[in-house]
Amino acid sequence: MKKEEKFYYEVHVYGRNGFSTSIVSDFELDEDERINLAVKQGRIDSEDVEYVDYTGELSFDEWDEHFNFDKDLLKKQIELQEEMQSKGLNLVTCGNCGTTIIHKTHSEEISCHGCGFKSEPCDFPDLFYMPSINR
């Protein structure tokens, strides 16, 4: 992909379904403008605004490597995860070390086999979460 004269930003949302997404602008933006543009472009839901804990500038190369991907393939992965969830299983990551874990959806507590961290499901974000896709 060819670099354009644009500004590239990351917007990170924390919480149970924490995720990072990106926005691209023709103009340099401050943090509030980045968040507003992320909502306007459908990158985050308006309910997620209060959970934004970070926005930052990205170089074109960082944006291209981390956010410029085949969204249709990711959507297929999410469909498979939803199929797992319909069977009572969920695919999450450890909030402490990032290890991928399969657990029963109604678990009160999850234990990580990678680092031993134990906590409630809100500390183990879903591996795929729909708003994390740049629509």
Domain that holds residue 23: 7-66
In a domain, 104, yes or no: yes
Q: What pLDDT shows up at residue 66?
A: 84
Q: Is the pTM of this model over 0.85?
A: no
In a domain, 2, yes or no: no
Name the amino acid, one letter, at 122: C
What is the number of domains present in the chain?
2
In the listed set 46, 66, 86, which residue is the last one of a domain according to the structure?
A: 66
- 2-6, 13-17, 40-44, 65-69 — most confident range: 40-44
Tell whether the torsion through CA atoms of 39, 41, 45 and 51 is positive or negative: negative
Same domain, residue pair 26 and 78: no
- Which phi and psi angles does 106 have, rounded to 5°? -105, 25
Give 94-130 pLDDT, tens digit per residue: 989 989 999 998 889 999 999 999 999 989 988 766 5
Q: Which residues have CB under 8 Å from 71's CB, separation 6+?
A: 133, 134, 135
Give 18-67 pLDDT, tens digit per residue: 788 999 999 999 999 999 999 999 889 888 899 999 999 999 999 988 88
Q: What pLDDT shows up at residue 16?
A: 58
* Tokens 């170089």 belong to residue: 59
